Every structure is written in C-alpha cells, then in structure tokens.
C-alpha cells in the first residue's frame, strides 16, 4: 500500500489526506478479492519503521485506523470476511487495541475472504519473535528448530505462503514485508500509487500471476 504520501504531495494536500484516500483503494481491493475468489489478502498498512515519521502523521494514522475499524467492522462481518492483524499491537492506544480485538473475535468464524492487515509489522522482528517464542516454549534446551516450528510461531500460523506480492508506488523492494512467507512469491511492481490502485490494476496483477510459470526450484514448473 505504498504511495499515499506522494499522492497527497502531488495534489498539495496533507499526507493524511493521502492515507484517507488509500482507505478507498483498500475497500476496492477487498471487494475485488471477494469477486475474483481470492482466499487470502494481506495488506501492509503500517511498518515498524513507520514510527520514525512525524508525530502529527503518526497520531493521525492511529486515529484513522481506529475510526476505520469502527466504521467497517459490521460490514466486514456481514460479508463473511475474517480479519486478522499481523504485528505487535501492544504499543497502540488502548481504544485501537480494543477495536482490533473486537473485530478479530467477531470475525473469527467467518469462512469467506481471509483479510490480514499488517500493523506495526516488520518481517525481521516477526522471525525473531517466532524463534524466541519457540525456544521459550520448548522443554528441551538443545532441540533443533525445523521450518514447520518457525511457521507455527509466526503471525501467519496456519496460513498459506504468499503466491503473489504486489508493490505499488514504483519502488522495487520488499521493505521488510513477509520475508519468510514470500520466499517463493511472484513479485509484481507497478508505478501506480496506492490511492489510484483500481480493480483493473488488481486484475492486471492477477493475469501476470496466472501467466507465470512457477518452478519452485524444479526444472518443470506449474502455471
């Protein structure tokens, strides 16, 4: 979800206006995901590095997250969407934490789209958290960790690996996003800023994925 600030700057608007417009794009992509039978979508909304932004912007984002969750909860539940927040939410304001917990609990049994929102998320910190969690809970001090052990301690426990990773805004890097889960994902980069990212843009990315031969290290790939 990259490009909110640049979208606002191009229009001589406050950066928060770009973040608000980005929420419109989020709703469009969620609806498109349901329409095109996508099982799981993970959106990177706020990284561990984003705390370095100006205090005013961070305060505005916290309020925006809280208001958005409050206004969209009933709609998400009604549309059978399960929402999970990936990241360390303990540092967030109490009201935001409460609304996150309510949304996750109320949508827990939903069977439609799995919608993950990465908030205060960083892949490196997630991997460290998972490793520490495993060894803390291990009864054997010298036990060897396996891939499945790490998988079972990540925020994404029980979820499939990333098939397609879409980066908007013209940058061509992963920016500490789902590094473990995206090991074999197809990478799709677009110059379109997130607030302008439409259903057509999303479908173009899906066509790119559909026409990519995936080999996973083998000589013969899969479409």
Q: Annotated catalytic sites, by residue?
A: 2, 50
Round to whole Å and give the CA distance between 204 and 181.
23
CB-neighbour burial class of residue 217 (10 A; exposed 0-12, middle 13-18, buried 19+): exposed
DSSP labels for 42-102?
EEEEEEGGGGGS-HHHHHHHHHHHHHHHHHHHHHHHHTT-EEEEES--TTS-HHHHHHHHH
Round to whole Å and give the CA distance between 85 and 121.
9
Q: On the CB side of 80, how many CA atoms lie within 13 Å of its CA?
A: 8
Tokens of 174: 């992963």
């Amino acid at each position: 979800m990259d490009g909110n600030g640049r979208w606002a700057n191009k229009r001589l608007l406050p950066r928060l206006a770009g973040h608000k417009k980005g929420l419109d794009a989020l709703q469009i992509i969620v609806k498109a995901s349901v329409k095109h039978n996508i099982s799981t979508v993970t959106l990177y909304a706020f990284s561990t590095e984003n705390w370095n932004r100006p205090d005013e912007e961070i305060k505005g984002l916290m309020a925006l997250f809280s208001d958005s969750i409050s206004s969209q909860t009933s709609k998400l539940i009604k549309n059978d969407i399960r929402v999970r927040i990936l990241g360390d939410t303990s540092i967030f304001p109490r009201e935001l934490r409460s609304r996150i917990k309510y949304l996750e609990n109320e949508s827990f049994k939903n069977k439609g789209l799995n919608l993950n929102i990465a908030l205060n998320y960083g892949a490196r910190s997630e991997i460290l958290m998972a490793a520490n969690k495993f060894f803390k809970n291990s009864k054997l001090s010298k036990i060897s960790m396996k891939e499945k052990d790490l998988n079972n301690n990540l925020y994404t426990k029980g979820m499939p690996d990333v098939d397609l990773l879409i980066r908007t805004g013209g940058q061509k890097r992963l920016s500490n996003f789902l590094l473990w889960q995206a090991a074999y994902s197809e990478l799709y980069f677009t110059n379109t800023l997130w607030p302008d990212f439409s259903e057509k843009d999303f479908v173009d990315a899906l066509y790119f994925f559909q026409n990519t031969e995936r080999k996973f290290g083998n000589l013969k790939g899969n479409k």
